Amino acid sequence: MTANTIEINRRRHPIQPGSPQWLFGYGSLIYKVDFPYLERRRAWIRGWARRFWQGSHDHRGTPESPGRVVTLVEEPGVLCRGLAYRVSPEVFHHLDVREKNGYLRLPTAMHFDDGGEAEGLIYIAAPDNAAFLGAAPAREMAAQIARASGPSGANADYLLRLAEALRQLGDDDPHVFELERLVLSA
């Protein structure tokens, strides 16, 4: 199963040549930075919660045994911490491919830890994409994460690396940390 969004992103939100853009990372973009950037800053966005509700059929799982990766879901009043990267337009050619399984590029207001603000882009996998798995009991999600593996490695590694990266940012994400605890205790 795929929900290839490469061309959708390129049509809906064309990137202007020569104009660096801010990008907000809240999942693997925090710890797996396989792209060049001009600047990186600690940042947060308001009204979005990080959830392991997106299926990964191409990176951390397979079509027969999908993994779970994070997306954002709207939740009023919640802050989602992450990292903001100022990148050249060419970087989005790589990122559109990396985030192709259901993720759409959307504009977002970012707030930097030093008090500054900027408009940037974010990749979100909405509930209407074909790879969306949605909510499930934490034990079921943890069991799925523990057993899934794909071309990019074990799904559990994704979860554990994200949890560690969030600790380094000083973020307390109960959803991620509960899944980490369940995977580690299995």
For residue 67, what is the domain's CATH number? 3.10.490.10
Average pLDDT across the chain, whole number: 93
Question: What count of other Cβ atoms lies within 10 Å of the Cβ of residue 3?
Answer: 20
Backbone φ, ψ for residue 127 (5° rounding):
-60, -20
Is residue 144 one of the residues assigned to a domain? yes
Quote the pLDDT of residue 107.
Answer: 93
> The domain containing residue 152 runs over which residues?
6-185
pTM for this prediction: 0.92
- In a domain, residue 1? The reply is no
Catalytically active residues are 99
Q: Does residue 2 carry a pLDDT above 60?
A: no
Which residues fall within 8 angstroms of residue 40, CB to CB, at 6 or more apart? 33, 83, 84, 85, 86
Residue 28 lies in a domain: yes
Predicted confidence (pLDDT) per residue in 34-67, tens digit: 999 999 999 999 999 999 999 999 899 999 999 9
Residue 25 belongs to a domain: yes
117-166: pLDDT as tens digits:
999 999 999 999 999 999 999 999 999 999 999 999 999 999 999 999 99
In 52-127, alpha helices (H): 91-98
Position 101 in a domain:
yes
Sequence-ordered alpha helix ranges (H) in 56-185:
91-98, 138-147, 155-169, 174-185
- Confirm whether 61 is domain-assigned: yes
* Angle (CA) 63 128 8, round 5°: 85
- Domain contains 120: yes
Is residue 162 in some structural domain? yes
Structurally, how many domains does the chain consist of? Answer: 1
